[in-house]
Amino acid sequence: MTLIAVSSGLFAVGMWLGQFDFPMSPGQALIFPWVTAAIAAYSVIALAWFAMGLLRYPCIEVSTAGLDVTGFRLKQTVKWDDVADIVPRADGKNPEIDIFLKDRARAGVEIFYRGPFSPGYMQAQRSVRVTADLFAVGAVPILDFIDYYAFNPEARAELVDGRALRRLASMGQPAVEG
């Protein structure tokens, strides 16, 4: 984000001051500096929000007690005993994992961002959605990993001693035939 802010800002200022000369149509020369200035401003605002803690990078924390799913704007905590089903979804362009809770179960919710696009507290208690393509390991291994520990309570001891990391790493590898 920092590199985007700096490079976009330099491009906009360089175009306005006449320091950058690219072969463009007059319309492009008029629009491009404004677009890159807007991108730079967006990046600076996003960096400020991350620095102030209003937005956070997504992460999933798994323990023997349950699952903490932190998104950009909220953190949801689910106990393993409250998980009813885990379903992969492909709404739109992002693969997602929906964690459905049992009838009366509710997720613990901590909302970081209070603004026009903040998540609803009651909705966040009832359903947990993980945008799976944000994680480097991939959507399918994360789905298999969460599903395995949700429905295999005897294996949750692996979450304490590091065996779970080896399991997650092996889930993304193709099977070796020999």
Beta strand 96-101 with 127-131: parallel, antiparallel or unpaired? antiparallel
Both 29 and 114 in a single domain? no
Both 63 and 134 in a single domain? yes
Grade residue 176 by pLDDT with cuts at 50, 70 and 90: very low
Please indicate, yes or no, if residue 178 is contained in any of the structural domains: no
- Closest listed residue to residue 130, CA positions, set 141, 139, 121, 118: 139
88-94: average pLDDT: 80
pLDDT of residue 22: 82
Both 153 and 70 in a single domain? yes
pLDDT > 60? residue 175: no
Both 139 and 86 in a single domain? yes
pLDDT of residue 178: 44
pLDDT of residue 174: 54
Single pTM value for the model:
0.65
Both 119 and 31 in a single domain? no
Both 35 and 67 in a single domain? no
Both 23 and 76 in a single domain? no
The sign of the CA dihedral 109, 110, 112, 113 is positive
Both 8 and 80 in a single domain? no
Contact predicate 156/149, CB 8 Å: yes
Both 70 and 145 in a single domain? yes
83-109: average pLDDT: 87
> pLDDT, tens digit, for every residue of 115-161?
676 677 777 778 888 888 878 788 888 888 899 999 999 989 888 88
Q: 164 is in which domain, residue-wise? A: 59-171
Q: What is the chain's Cα-based Rg? A: 22
Lookup result for tokens 């429905």? 151
Both 26 and 63 in a single domain? no
3-class DSSP state of 116: coil
Question: Which strand ranges, in their side-by-side order, compose the sheet holding 127-131?
Answer: 83-89, 96-101, 127-131
Count of structural domains, the chain: 2
Grade residue 72 by pLDDT with cuts at 50, 70 and 90: confident
What's the chain's average pLDDT?
84
Please indicate, yes or no, if residue 81 is contained in any of the structural domains: yes
Both 113 and 151 in a single domain? yes
pLDDT of residue 108: 86
> pLDDT, tens digit, for every residue of 150-170?
999 998 988 888 888 888 877
Both 150 and 81 in a single domain? yes
